[in-house]
């Protein structure tokens, strides 16, 4: 297993990070089996584990907490806050009120006194970034977290947060967690260069493009849209939709690249992500022991320049062939009111 320093934190983490979103009700509900998978990953040299409070409504954190009993000091533990937890107002977001409350719940579920990396899961347009950074800085001072970062933030909001922290003397986001894969390369345009300039660690998610690069999906073959990841977002896998044509065409070419260097498509996908100099670690979320074995099998694969050039010719740098699942969209795009003048103003013009 290879290791890299996590941004400017001085913390060394494995290049492959164990994601635990699939542990719990939404994936593998067998706690004992999930714990065995976590232990197997640790035994193979993975020292970086990522979870979130909202994964299976806290169940994933509980599983991770059980698995780390007696091994906590050897693991860099990351979790997240933002999404609603339960019914009612003020039970989500990036406010001081919610962060201070929810970090205590995560510490309880994880069975630990501290969190190594506490991440803001998504931007919150209703909360001033100064409010968020102030709360996170206080948690570092209290020893409840060691460092903090963000997840799926656009480059401009990361820069804004950096300058607010500089002006106010707050701690800075040390990491960013964006989606990145062979067919979702949009973060290469500005996000990855921004993180590199600010000395931020980058831990990426969805390297298999939500299962599209698992090797089980191929052009010209029937796709079962009622099971697995396809059942969650069937429109991303449906070969009859014109929007998916470029994905399926690229898929076949990428399979040829993988076969040409003697590896599987998932192994190529993981090796591609960690080849970028701005990427610290790639998060993979196995549901079964077989999934973990497949991840570990390709952990040492390194791609040469010729292979990376072939990939660039298939999916040009900075190109997104699909919108990554769960990627944040700004209010300026999701709320029509944010981009339409009132009728009275339009008629006056």
Domain ranges of the chain: 3-218+246-324
pLDDT given for residue 231 in this prediction: 55
Which H/E stretch holds residue 147? strand 145-151
The pLDDT value given to residue 69: 97
What pLDDT digit, counting tens, does each position of 144-154 carry? 999 999 999 99
End-to-end CA distance of the chain: 63
User: Quick one: 89 exposed, middle or buried, by C-beta within 10 A (0-12, 13-18, 19+)?
Assistant: exposed
pLDDT tens figures, 132-147: 999 999 999 999 999 9
When pLDDT is cut at 50, 70 and 90, the band that residue 232 belongs to is low
Read off the pLDDT band of 230 (50, 70, 90). Answer: low
Q: Six-digit token pair at 274?
A: 């960690």
Look up residue 26 and give its two tokens.
């939404």
Question: Tokens at residue 148, please?
Answer: 């903090």
Among 37, 52, 55, CA closest to 103: 52
The catalytic site residues sit at 55
Is the pLDDT at 212 greater than 90? The verdict is: no
Selected residue with higher pLDDT from 345 and 44: 44
Higher pLDDT, residue 154 or 339: 154
Let me know if domain 3-218+246-324 sits in CATH 3.20.20.100: yes
Residue 219 predicted with pLDDT over 80: no
Residue 176 · residue 50 · CB < 8 Å: no
Backbone angles phi and psi of 283, in degrees to 5 = -90, 125
State the pTM of this model. Answer: 0.92
- Distance CA(21)–CA(28), nearest Å, equals 9
Q: How far apart are CA 251 and CA 113, in angstroms?
A: 45
Count of other CB atoms within 10 angstroms of residue 221: 8
Share above pLDDT 70 across residues of the chain, in percent, rounded to a whole number: 94
Burial degree of 235 (CB within 10 A; 0-12, 13-18, 19+): exposed
Q: Identify the residue with better confidence: 238 or 325.
A: 238
- What is the rounded average pLDDT of the residues 296-305? 89
User: Cα–Cα distance between 273 and 204 in angstroms, integer?
Assistant: 8
- Express each pLDDT in 251-288 by its tens digit: 999 999 999 999 999 999 999 999 999 999 999 999 99
Residue 221 and residue 337: Cα distance in Å, rounded?
42
CA distance 250 to 269: 13
Residue whose entry in the numeric block shows the structure tokens 């010719």: 313
* Closest among 210, 259, 204 to 50, alpha carbons compared: 204
DSSP 264-279: -HHHHHHHHHHHSTT-
Which tokens hold the place of 252? 């076949």
The pLDDT score that the predictor gives to residue 318 is 96
pLDDT in tens, 70-89: 999 999 999 999 999 988 89
């Amino acid at each position: 297993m290879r290791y890299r320093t996590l941004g400017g934190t001085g913390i060394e983490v494995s290049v492959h990070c164990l994601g635990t979103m699939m542990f719990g009700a939404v994936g593998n509900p067998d706690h004992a089996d999930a714990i065995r998978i976590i232990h197997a990953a640790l035994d193979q040299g993975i020292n970086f584990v990522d979870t979130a409070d909202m994964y299976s409504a806290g169940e994933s954190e509980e599983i991770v907490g059980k698995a780390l009993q007696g091994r906590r000091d050897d693991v860099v533990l990351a979790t997240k806050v933002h999404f609603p937890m339960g019914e009612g107002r003020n039970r989500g977001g990036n406010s001081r009120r919610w962060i201070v409350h929810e970090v205590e719940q995560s510490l309880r579920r994880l069975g630990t006194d501290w969190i190594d990396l506490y991440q803001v899961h998504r931007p919150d347009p209703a909360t001033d970034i100064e409010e968020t950074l102030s709360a996170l800085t206080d948690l570092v001072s209290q020893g409840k977290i060691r460092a903090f970062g963000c997840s799926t933030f656009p480059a401009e909001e990361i820069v804004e947060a950096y300058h607010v922290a500089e002006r106010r003397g707050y701690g800075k986001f040390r990491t960013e967690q964006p989606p990145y894969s062979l067919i979702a390369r949009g973060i290469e345009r500005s996000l990855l260069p921004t993180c590199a300039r600010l000395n931020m660690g980058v831990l990426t998610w969805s390297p298999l493009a939500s299962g599209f690069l698992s090797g089980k999906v191929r052009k010209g073959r029937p796709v079962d849209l009622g099971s697995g990841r396809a059942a969650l977002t069937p429109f991303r896998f449906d070969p009859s939709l014109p929007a998916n044509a470029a994905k399926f065409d690229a898929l076949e070419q990428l399979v040829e690249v993988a076969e040409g260097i003697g590896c599987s498509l998932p192994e190529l996908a993981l090796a591609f992500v960690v080849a970028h100099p701005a990427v610290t670690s790639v998060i993979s979320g196995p549901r079964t022991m077989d999934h973990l074995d497949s991840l570990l099998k390709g952990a040492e694969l390194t791609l040469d320049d010729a292979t990376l050039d072939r990939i660039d010719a298939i999916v040009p740098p900075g190109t997104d062939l699909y919108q990554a699942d769960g990627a944040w969209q700004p209010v300026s795009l999701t709320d029509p009111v944010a981009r339409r003048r009132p009728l009275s103003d339009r008629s006056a013009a």
